[in-house]
Structure 1
Amino acid sequence: MRKYFITGLLVLVPLAITAWVLSLIISTLDQSLMFVPAAWQPRQFIGMDVPGIGAVLTLAIVFVTGLLTNNLVGKYIVRVGERLLKRVPVVSSLYGSVKQVSDTLFSSSGNAFRQAVLIPYPHADSYTIAFLTGVPGGDVTNHLVGDFVSVYVPTTPNPTSGFFLMMERSRVKELDMTVDAALKYIVSMGVVAPSHVPLGAANPAAVK
């Protein structure tokens, strides 16, 4: 009975968590209907609320926004809007910081999360997987002697929080592993190891 019970948990728990996460995302996106006029609400036409309509509306708005701004006119409007936002005292700092981070993370030409690396952390005798994010900049470079790189160390099982470190390049080992495989490895707390480990992965070369 214990064996069958555990087998049932292994099947149902991932399904239940997946359903819960999807339900949370859809219910959160459904709140976008608050900005839709009451006369246009689904319940006015069919007499009831339809789960997921807000999610579809949100995705449609994001898609249309990207479509409209992906041309000369749209890019000009975005630039004008950004210039106006930069003149607002508090909004300019907040918007500028968020835009820099989002541009780095989502831009196809960015360097964030492009390479999984192995680093000694939190001390010299233990190691963890991190992600190469770039090199130190600004006044920081005036206080670092040597060749340093910037890395992000995600926490387990929630990789959205973590630590930003600047380490000597020679101590950062490049892994022959995709970012997706590394994230899966981290989230699963090491249970879901990469299915294929190349020969060079056991002794990764230093980051160049």
Structure 2
Amino acid sequence: AVTVFIVFLLIYTGRKLRRKEKWILNIVDQVISKIPVVGGWYSTFQEMVQTFTAGGGERGYLGTAKVPCGDGYIIGFVTKRETAEDGSPRVTIFVPTSPNPTTGLVFFFPEEKVEYLDLTPEKAFTKIISLGMKS
């Protein structure tokens, strides 16, 4: 869990520095990607962050949503919109697990059951990684 948090922190910091100091990020990427096990996690997590921060599009992040689950709700990321065989709109939602958000569950919901949230991917990941302790 600590390793995943450190990797997420490095990616997040790297994305912030990318605009100013791209060469630093390239060096960090090269070093981390060569570390056994951690390098694989880093690459996977980096792809996830890029997808969720790319915004819009068929392959990109389409929004943060909550879906009903018993008396509560689950926060997830809308990754695809499609039409079901009966013609009704459906969405695919990826729900990362905590404290390791590189794994998770994929759910398919009718769009009318999904409530879109005004929550950035970073805030949603923070909420999930912190086991719900941070908002």
- 1:177 aligned to 2:113? no
**Alpha-carbon spacing, 1:169–1:191, altered in 2? closer, same or farther (3 Å):** same
Segments of structure 2 that go 5 or more residues without pairing to the other structure are: 11-25, 32-46
Structure 1 residue 107: Cα displacement: 9.1
Structure 1 residue 190: Cα displacement: 0.9
- 1:56 aligned to 2:27? yes
- 1:129 aligned to 2:100? no
Opposite residue 119 of structure 1, the aligned amino acid is: V
- Equivalent residue for 2:67? 119
Task: Report % sequence identity.
Answer: 27
Opposite residue 67 of structure 2, the aligned amino acid is: I
- Equivalent residue for 1:146? 88
Higher relative contact order (CA 8 A, sep 6+): 2
Max Rg structure: 1
Structure 1 residue 171: Cα displacement: 0.8
- 8 Å contact 1:112–1:133 — kept in the other structure? yes
Deviations 1:176-196 (A, max 9, x none): 111100110011011111xxx
**Alpha-carbon spacing, 1:186–1:146, altered in 2? closer, same or farther (3 Å):** same
Q: Identify the match of residue 107 of structure 2 among 161, 165, 170.
A: 165
**Alpha-carbon spacing, 1:59–1:191, altered in 2? closer, same or farther (3 Å):** same
The alignment yields a C-alpha RMSD, in angstroms, of 3.6
- 8 Å contact 1:118–1:130 — kept in the other structure? yes
Higher strand share: 2
Aligned length: 99
